[in-house]
A and B are shown apart, each in its own frame.
Chain A
């Protein structure tokens, strides 16, 4: 990594350097999000499965989670993701936190109104509010309905299970392999190539951005005003854009030099082993079971 932690702390020590702090934190967050492959390198269950198999089977699991309307099935699928996380050596508290951090904010806010009789009529569970002299379009009592609560629970658990499945896939698969696995879904090769190159160069430009910050810091004495900061920021963005443009031209020439003709042929060295077939079989049986239970 280009910027060590102590440098970063020093770099961010100016509490009022809002722009620099925002950009540095953004850079750090992007790095963490994109390049953290710590768990993908662990010798766990899901890490050992061929990424193509994993991608397809996880899509099937996602479809099942979206299709089923049974709370017990969704609960079972969610428990399965927890079990898979443990078998894949992902710390369970980290995994649960990552999944549940935003669910109450987003899914919860969407589901909350649906639990009341105003939105979902049904059998009352408990009264929340009694309205005296309520307008004609509102009922005299607002209560939580059994149907509403069930629907909201289904919704939240479906979101949690789907997010868990997606997070498991991303945490246990290296980006490079995940991108290549998209080929089995007939994702265009040019798209895979462009995504791969984007992934590769994001790091380089993050590194450049950090260098620009450090270069500025090494030449800055005292506190600069907002105008100066804005001028510097605009100049840095312009400079980075110029560098990116120049590099894109050079990269294109390097591609042409090695035979690029606009039709990508990418390497693919995946091989299916017994473990992959076993996983495929397990997901197949599970799917049949869930569909059978759901259709009863």
Chain B
């Protein structure tokens, strides 16, 4: 089985703040989908940025396609272009990802930057827009699209590269139910095409339905479990520890205590 990413004792700190990730070790195989599960602030998004070579580990190391990811490695332009063609990152906030004045510009940005011919870019842009059913938005500006449309455009901007590896940061965040269902179908289609998916989420439904494997980060930014997705998702104690589910009894107790205090 080909390993795409191999992480060894990876740690990352933001400047002047507490650690974002500590001692993360696991690997991601080609053609598999893996869910990075964790509560808000556990370091999921940071982990995706590390996998995409946007940040580099402070401790430990990450290998992608057998090559150590370092700043020096990304200065090798040919290699960096190859990596960017193979790995696409979908940001949680589409407003971050959609930085150009029109949808068409946005979808064409990555293939143009990565040196594809204008003819090829044009074909890819039309194909991505048609596949996602947003061809009618091509000349619209991203600022007056709905959240669901923005998300689709953000996906199209990655799809136009047709990467082997998709890194997805909270793909269902702020989507209405219909667009959410569409997104799930889209993720299924990527899995069926044999793409490698790394999905950072705290939505357990995605993990259960789409992921083959899962990693669980706790609130101290450590990896506390890694394995088959369905096995981990059945482990209630683990999910409670990671703040991925809550114990309803806790809230009932809290309400009772609150009422008792009011009575006194």
Contacts of A176 in B (CB 8 A): 101-102, 105, 141
Q: Which residues of A are at the interface with B, using a C-beta cutoff of 8 A?
A: 175-176, 179, 193, 196-197, 199-201, 203-204, 207, 247, 250-251, 253-261, 264-269
Contact of B95 among A179, A204, A255, A264 (CB under 8 A): A204
Q: Which of B46-95 contact A (CB under 8 A)?
A: 49, 52, 54, 77, 80-81, 84-85, 88-89, 91, 93, 95
Tell me if B161 counts as interface (CB < 8 A to partner A): yes
Q: When the two chains form their complex, are residues B101 and A258 in contact, meaning their CB atoms are under 8 A apart?
A: no
Q: When the two chains form their complex, are residues A258 and B77 in contact, meaning their CB atoms are under 8 A apart?
A: no
Alpha-carbon distance A258/B125, docked complex (angstroms)? 14
17 A-B pairs with CB atoms under 8 Å apart are: A175-B101, A196-B101, A199-B101, A200-B99, A200-B101, A203-B141, A253-B96, A255-B99, A257-B54, A257-B84, A258-B88, A258-B157, A259-B84, A261-B77, A267-B108, A267-B121, A269-B122
Tell me if B186 counts as interface (CB < 8 A to partner A): no
How far is the CB of A92 from the nearest CB of chain B, in Å? 28
Contact of B113 among A175, A196, A250, A260 (CB under 8 A): A260
Alpha-carbon distance A73/B237, docked complex (angstroms)? 86
Contacts of A247 in B (CB 8 A): 95-96
How far is the CB of B115 from the nearest CB of chain A, in Å? 8
Q: Which of A179, A253, A259, A261 has the most CB of B within 10 A?
A: A259
Known contacts A254-B97, A258-B84; A267/B113 CB under 8 A: no
Q: When the two chains form their complex, are residues B99 and A254 in contact, meaning their CB atoms are under 8 A apart?
A: yes
Contacts of A175 in B (CB 8 A): 101
Known contacts A254-B91, A258-B157, A265-B113; A179/B101 CB under 8 A: yes
Report the tally of A-B residue pairs with Cβ distances under 8 A: 86
Contacts of B52 in A (CB 8 A): 257
Q: Number of B residues contacting the other chain (C-beta, 8 Å)?
A: 38
Alpha-carbon distance A260/B142, docked complex (angstroms)? 20
Q: When the two chains form their complex, are residues A253 and B141 in contact, meaning their CB atoms are under 8 A apart?
A: no
Contacts of A261 in B (CB 8 A): 77, 80, 113
- SS class, residues of chain B in contact with chain A: helix
Known contacts A201-B99, A259-B84, A267-B108; A253/B49 CB under 8 A: yes
Tell me if B104 counts as interface (CB < 8 A to partner A): yes
How far is the CB of B51 from the nearest CB of chain A, in Å? 11
Known contacts A197-B99, A197-B100, A200-B142; A258/B113 CB under 8 A: yes
Of chain A, the residue at the smallest CB distance from B89 is A257
Of chain B, the residue at the smallest CB distance from A249 is B96
Q: When the two chains form their complex, are residues B161 and A250 in contact, meaning their CB atoms are under 8 A apart?
A: no
Alpha-carbon distance A8/B142, docked complex (angstroms)? 24
Alpha-carbon distance A73/B76, docked complex (angstroms)? 60
Contacts of A199 in B (CB 8 A): 101
Known contacts A256-B54, A258-B109, A269-B122; A250/B100 CB under 8 A: no
Alpha-carbon distance A253/B143, docked complex (angstroms)? 20
Q: Which 5 A-B pairs have the closest CB atoms?
A: A259-B113, A258-B110, A267-B108, A176-B101, A203-B143
Q: When the two chains form their complex, are residues B143 and A200 in contact, meaning their CB atoms are under 8 A apart?
A: yes
Known contacts A258-B109, A258-B161; A204/B143 CB under 8 A: yes
Tell me if B3 counts as interface (CB < 8 A to partner A): no
Known: A201-B99, A247-B95, A256-B54. 15 other contacts (CB 8 A): A176-B101, A200-B98, A200-B141, A250-B91, A251-B99, A254-B97, A255-B99, A257-B88, A257-B91, A258-B157, A258-B161, A259-B114, A261-B77, A266-B105, A267-B104
Of chain B, the residue at the smallest CB distance from A201 is B99
Contacts of B95 in A (CB 8 A): 204, 247
Contacts of B109 in A (CB 8 A): 255, 258-259, 267
Tell me if B134 counts as interface (CB < 8 A to partner A): no
Contacts of B105 in A (CB 8 A): 176, 196, 266-267
Contacts of A269 in B (CB 8 A): 104, 122
Of chain A, the residue at the smallest CB distance from B95 is A204
Alpha-carbon distance A253/B96, docked complex (angstroms)? 9
Alpha-carbon distance A201/B142, docked complex (angstroms)? 10
Q: Which of B133-191 contact A (CB under 8 A)?
A: 141-143, 157-158, 161
Q: Which of B89, B101, B114, B121 has the most CB of A within 10 A?
A: B101
Contacts of B125 in A (CB 8 A): 267
Known contacts A256-B54, A261-B80; A250/B104 CB under 8 A: no
Tell me if B30 counts as interface (CB < 8 A to partner A): no
Tell me if B204 counts as interface (CB < 8 A to partner A): no
Contacts of A254 in B (CB 8 A): 89, 91, 96-97, 99
Q: Which of B49, B99, B113 has the most CB of A within 10 A?
A: B99
Alpha-carbon distance A193/B101, docked complex (angstroms)? 9
Alpha-carbon distance A201/B96, docked complex (angstroms)? 10
Alpha-carbon distance A247/B95, docked complex (angstroms)? 9
